[in-house]
Chain A
Amino acid sequence: MTLEIIGISVLWLFLFGYIIVGSIDYGAGFFNAYSIVTRKEHVVSKIIQRYLSPVWEVTNVFFVFFFVGIIGFFPQTAFYYGTTLLIPASIALILLAIRGSYYAFESYGKRGHKGYAIMYGLSGLLIPASLSVVLTISEGGFIHIENGAPVLDYVALFFNPLTWSVVVLSLIAVLYISAVFLTWYANETGDQHATDLMRKYALGWSIPLIIAASGIIIELRFHNEEHYQRILDFWWMFAISFVLWGLTVWLIWQRRRYGTAFWLLVGQFAFAFFGYGISHYPYLLYPHFSIYEGFTNEAMAISLIVVFILGMALLIPSLYLLLRLFLFDENYKKGKK
């Protein structure tokens, strides 16, 4: 395994981590807002607040980790993506700021400001949408080089069906992941009403999810033939993903083992996400630069990997402690302490 592969694997793993924990967070914000609008807030708000408050900052770090890491391992990404992503990334940042401040302003200031809660919920859907644009851009065809600097063709990007398919998929995925997790968490707290409500949402979003995901593969065929062929080479990873999706839905339908259902969902997304990533190899931006051209010098790569291992040795026990105290602590979940 070369240093380049290690680097991109680590980053891809963190991006995957962000997609899971971020989706739970964004979806929960949306369900929270939705329940306020439909006057069902007494059902889910408490559960959502209870889980989210201690972990939102950690969720944010996954995101920071990814973009700092990718510039560390692949400095050229700063040149290509930094210049072109000014608008979508700035919008995502502003939305992130609205969300981040919500926890503090809403939980500690005046409680129950409806407008803020709704903005918070909506921002949770818009952030994945604005960030997922990067995936479309990386397929190539939207960036050309002018006077030695990359320029993004916004018009082509805006009117491309692939762009919108990716946006729709990211929205549905957020709602689905979040609903499955919250079904489990609500069930753990022993709140039957919340469990039923979240279960309904989970089942409702499961079919659109699989339709949107299949749609993207078809879109790719027209947009990036080479990538499409490589996806077919790895068809078995997507097949496994599909089977795991089926098992998750079946368990939730049967009202059985919500915890297992959630972990199957994680597996489903892992196979799809890594299948997509591997088939995209070796390009970071098709066809302008690959992980081999954009890689940092050897000394930096080695020191980053060493720091990464040391950092993980520190983080994994701490994360475990956090989860044990809030996610899996019987008294905390039931709201006693």
Chain B
Amino acid sequence: MLFEDPAYASQLLTLLTLSFHIIYATIGVGLPLMIMIAQWIGIRNNDPHYLLMARRWAKGFVVTVAVGVVTGTAIGLQLALLWPSFMELAGNIIALPLFMEVFAFFFEAIFLGIYLYTWDRFDNPKKHLLLLIPVAVGSGMSAFFITMVNSFMNSPAGFDIVNGELVNANPLLAMFTVSMPTKVAHVLATGYMTIAFLLAAIAAYRLIKGSHKEYHTKALHMTMKIGLIFALAAAVIGDFSGKYLAEYQPEKLAAAEWHFETSSEAPLVMWGMLDENNETRFALEIPFALSILAHGTPGAEVIGLEEFPAEEQPPLVIHYFFDLMVTIGMFLLLLSLVYWVATWRNWTFIQRPWYRWLIVLGGPLAFLGIEAGWWMAEVGRQPWILRGLMTIEEAATTSDYVGLMFIFFAVLYFILGVGTVVVLRHMFRKNPVEEDLAKYQGGEQA
């Protein structure tokens, strides 16, 4: 059977849980910031549209937070259930950021509870806005700490192994590893960017359907602007990440780029296919681009995959993940840049349905980009769970029931995923903006 090898089954189950969790986790990181900005603009300009926006987003947020919390709990425990030997070692070095992540989550949970249930309890709306700051900070810090743990797995540091014994543990050095700055920054920037494009997609869709024009135009305008800022940030940080990889994890970069032979003036290979001799076909080659991505100069030498023993090479499929991520990122960057320039120059084509459909497409694409980026980062680390130290085989559980658990969790995530969509649709169908706005301006609870 497919699941007979516990190590392979554990990989699949972890992949499943994480791929599902990051959808909700990304919303959890990005949405509080958007709610905060909307509510802030609403209070500052005394504009009920923005206040309503904050409120409607917050309502939807509750549903995704619930699923995010339970899947997050699942992955937290699964780490120990599926990778006991890894967690035993990691517990000695990397427990500190894991522990801090729980505190950040705790902090966020408390204030989110207060924020959601106190809409009308403060006479001064600014006090209510203040509650969102710990929520946004807490969720950002969660992402920060958990990505720190992941960085450690990519570039272990902060300890020595002497005769198989772990000595000289330094929790701080383990937290601030070489891959940490680019990873954390990229995760945060793409998280905020994704949620901006998700909300933009919803606004664009409602505009196509002819809903409340003023409200949705404001939402679209605001989110496209935020989206552009974070898309630019993500691209710049992505470039730094490439330079990090070239320096410290060259096998991942080489596999992602199908760069087999060490050479200077290396071209960047986009898409294409591999034949049996590892020759690329139908690919778009951008001259010098890989050397620039890796080292900043067109003539720089980039290490090829042939320098690594076959059993330490990551799977070549990560090339597609990398290309998917970069292509989507570029598409979203252009989409928001054009929108912004067109707004500034009063070009009206961005109000045409075809452009709005492109924005609608941007929402799901942004999530696909997030997934592809994580697949590239994680699959690209194989065969290691701790790069250079511990392989996946050594870390996995020896229990025989992982395959069975995979099926259980797959069913669970399916139900949760469908449930989220059904509940969210029901919620917003039942309360269209017009009605909410009328209630809201009438002083009633929306």
Bound-complex Cα distance A225 to B405 (A): 36
Q: Give the residues in chain A near B117, CB-CB below 8 Å.
A: 53-54, 325-326
Binary B-proximity of A52-64 (CB < 8 A = 1, otherwise 0): 0111011011011
Q: Give the residues in chain B near A90, CB-CB below 8 Å.
A: 81, 405, 408-409
Cβ-defined contact, B67 with A75, below 8 A: no
A15-31 interface with B by 8 A CB criterion? none
Which among A68, A72, A83, A307 is the interface contact of B399 at CB below 8 angstroms? A83
Cβ-defined contact, B66 with A100, below 8 A: yes
B261 close to A (CB within 8 Å): no
Q: Give the residues in chain A near B76, CB-CB below 8 Å.
A: 64, 67-68
Interface residue SS majority, chain B: helix
A5 close to B (CB within 8 Å): no
B334 close to A (CB within 8 Å): no
Stretch from A105-113, A162-170, A182-190, A237-245 forming part of the interface with B: A105-113
Give the interface size class of chain B: 35 or more
Q: Across the interface, name the chain B residue whose C-beta is closest to A54.
A: B113
B70 close to A (CB within 8 Å): yes
A337 close to B (CB within 8 Å): yes
**Known contacts A68-B98, A108-B62, A303-B172; is-contact A79 B84 (Cβ 8 Å):** yes
Q: Give the residues in chain A near B80, CB-CB below 8 Å.
A: 67, 71, 77-78, 81-82
A211 close to B (CB within 8 Å): no
Nearest-CB distance from B429 to chain A (Å)? 11
Cβ-defined contact, A109 with B422, below 8 A: yes
Cβ-defined contact, A78 with B402, below 8 A: no
Q: Across the interface, name the chain A residue whose C-beta is closest to B416.
A: A101
Bound-complex Cα distance A94 to B415 (A): 11
Bound-complex Cα distance A58 to B112 (A): 10
Which among B91, B101, B110, B412 is the interface contact of A296 at CB below 8 angstroms? B91
Cβ-defined contact, A58 with B69, below 8 A: no
Stretch from A36-44, A227-235, A249-257, A315-323 forming part of the interface with B: A315-323
Q: Give the residues in chain B near A73, CB-CB below 8 Å.
A: 95
Nearest-CB distance from A297 to chain B (Å)? 4
Q: Give the residues in chain B near A81, CB-CB below 8 Å.
A: 80
Most buried by B among A79, A300, A304, A308: A300
Cβ-defined contact, B423 with A105, below 8 A: yes
Which among A75, A97, A307, A321 is the interface contact of B91 at CB below 8 angstroms? A75
B288 close to A (CB within 8 Å): no
B100 close to A (CB within 8 Å): yes
A213 close to B (CB within 8 Å): no
Q: Which residues of B contact A (CB under 8 A)?
A: 59, 62-63, 65-67, 69-74, 76-78, 80-85, 87-93, 95-96, 98-103, 105-107, 109-114, 116-118, 120-121, 134, 166, 169-172, 397-399, 401-402, 405, 408-409, 412, 416, 419, 422-423, 426-427
> Which 6 pairs show the lowest CB-CB distances between chains A and B?
A75-B91, A72-B95, A82-B84, A104-B66, A78-B87, A100-B70
8 other contacts beyond A61-B106, A68-B102, A90-B405, with CB at 8 A cut-off? Answer: A61-B105, A67-B77, A78-B84, A101-B67, A109-B63, A109-B423, A303-B96, A337-B120
Some 18 contacts from A to B, beta carbons below 8 A apart, are A54-B114, A58-B110, A60-B70, A64-B102, A68-B99, A72-B98, A78-B88, A78-B91, A93-B74, A101-B70, A105-B419, A108-B59, A109-B426, A109-B427, A147-B398, A297-B92, A318-B107, A319-B110
